[in-house]
Amino acid sequence: MEKLAAVKGMNDILPPDSARWEALEERVRNLMRRFAYENLRTPIVEPTALFVRGLGEVTDIVEKEMYSFEDRLNGEALTLRPENTAGVVRAAIEHSLLYNGGKRLYYMGPMFRHERPQRGRYRQFHQIGAEALGFSGGEVDAELILMAHALWQEIGLTDVALQLNSLGQPEERNAHRAALIQHFEAHLDVLDEEAKRRLHLNPLRLLDSKNPAMQAVIEAAPRLLDFLGEASKRHLKTVTDVLEANGVAYSINPRLVRGMDYYNLTVFEFVTTKLGSQGTICAGGRYDYLFEQVGGKPTPAVGWAMGIERVLELLKEQGAAEDGPALDAYAVVPDAAFLPQVMGCLQTLRSQGLSVQMHATTAEGMASMKSQFKRADSSGARYALIFGADEMAQGQVTVKALRDSTVAQQTRALSEAAQWGKSLQSIA
């Protein structure tokens, strides 16, 4: 029978790598609690129309990358979510989440895009996102940036730079758009076919082009910052004043844009040079017009999303990978007859919050003590719990340190596991 494998670009996450994922996710959950952001979980399948209306038909995601299909039962057009901001907004509208005022929300989960798999970029990828809905002030934009910056500090990520820009408001962008079209029409001989196709549909996307032949023309293009009105400038200054007051370094990147019309005012990215062309690990911005595009009332909103795979890849590159919690103890059991008592003791220890692994029997019975100690050592556990015949006869267990030779071996009463288990990591 043919051996089956995972779909290309959709990867299994196996131990011990999965422990690094869990450790990062737990840090994020703690961070979100400190900033008073609440968890929201949306379906991975949404109506295709949500993304067509939310992202726009003339985008790479909608045109080329979405996993879309027709429901065989009712013919409904459905799509595996390529991003989650639209889903968060849909949920907020559907459930009237903002009835009593603004909401600060976050999510974690898989997204799907049909693109060429490469380092840190896969067809099923995972994002963590934070969205502040119903708040119009620049201080909330800055709050989200401070949150991401705090995460980098907590996990030890150092090679990350913050880039910032303002997209202004629609009328300012329209004036800039007209100037862009005029500029690029004067250089049609330099534009590739994709740029020519997009010139009148979405000229901002030309600024994203990586075509070397177009870079000089792109650099000479009109800057959106020069078209901002006073209100947009004040909004940007509020953001930068907060960042400067908190010691967060940033640079203004006038070429930092978004291809979707619902974005306005603040946009930002945290980038690194360590992951090749996939250097953006977190991107965000204000999207005050998205609610209207998906059927809601005008509502200010701002948020960001980070790629979990890219962050973990960068941590590994820097040698600061999140390793997850260590195993506290490994139970060495030479005789299967002792298992009922042993497992009772282990349950007590686990109830105290310890992570404990027990050596299991095989068809041949229990492995030798030597083999079990090898397993205990390779497990990474801090301690071996030895349930030998002598110990069991006296209602005891021997606790042996596996990582610190200065810690003396001790015996403990099984009946007092709830007491000594709490301090197992500090036995002297």
pLDDT, tens digit, 9 for 90 and up, residues 337-388:
888 999 999 999 999 888 999 887 776 777 888 888 888 888 888 999 999 9
pLDDT at 428: 43
**DSSP-derived secondary structure letter, 397:** E
Give the residue among 180, 179, 156, 176 at the shortest CA–CA distance from 167.
Answer: 176
- Every domain of the chain and the residues it spans: 17-168+228-318, 329-426
Tell me phi and psi for residue 69, to 5 degrees: -155, 165
Distance between CA 49 and CA 317 in Å, rounded? 39
Mean pLDDT of 56-60: 62
Superfamily the domain 17-168+228-318 falls into: Bira Bifunctional Protein; Domain 2 (3.30.930.10)
CA 140 to each of CA 105, 237, 243, 339, 427: distance values in angstroms, whole numbers, following the listed order: 13, 13, 11, 56, 47
Res. 297: pLDDT tops 90: yes
The residues near 261 (Cβ < 8 Å, ≥ 6 apart) are 56, 170, 289, 293
The per-residue pLDDT for range 300-314, each reduced to its tens digit, is: 999 999 999 999 988
For residue 207, what are the contacts with CB-CB under 8 A and spacing of at least 6? 180, 218, 221, 255, 257
* Residue 121 pLDDT > 80: no
The interaxial angle of helices 17-34 and 308-318, nearest 10 deg, is 110
As given in the structure block, the two tokens for residue 81 are 């979510």
198 or 268: which carries more pLDDT confidence?
Answer: 268
Q: At 109, which helix (H) or strand (E)?
A: strand 103-112
Query: Domain 329-426 adopts which CATH fold?
Result: Rossmann fold (3.40.50)
**Quick check: bond before 254 cis, omega within 30?**
no
* Residue 224 amino acid letter: L
Residues 164-176, mean pLDDT to the nearest whole number: 93
Give yes or no for a contact between 18 and 53, defined as CB atoms under 8 angstroms apart.
no
Q: Show the tokens assigned to 296.
A: 């809601």
Q: What is the percentage of the chain residues whose pLDDT exceeds 90?
A: 58
% of the chain surpassing 70 pLDDT? 95
More confident residue, 253 or 359: 253
pLDDT at 85: 94
State how far the Cα of 72 lies from the Cα of 166, in Å rounded to an integer. 44
CA distance 283 to 30: 21
Least confident of 130-134, 241-245, 340-344: 340-344
pLDDT at 379: 86
Could you tell me which residue, 30 or 277, shows the higher pLDDT? 30
Other C-beta atoms closer than 10 Å to the C-beta of 179 total: 17
pLDDT band at 59 (very low <50, low <70, confident <90, very high): low
**pLDDT bucket at 277, cuts 50 / 70 / 90:** low
Q: Report yes or no: 313 and 120 within 8 Å, Cβ to Cβ.
A: yes
Encoded tokens for 199: 């010139």
Q: Given pLDDT bands bounded at 50, 70 and 90, which one contains residue 206?
A: confident
Residues in Cβ contact with 395 at an 8 Å cutoff, skipping those fewer than 6 apart: 413, 414, 415
Give the N- to C-terminal CA distance of the chain in Å, as an integer: 56
Q: Mean pLDDT across the stretch 17-30?
A: 93
- Mean pLDDT (whole number) for 151-157: 92
* 3-class secondary structure, 191: coil
Highest mean pLDDT pick, 20-29, 50-59, 377-386: 20-29
pLDDT, greater one: 259 or 179:
179
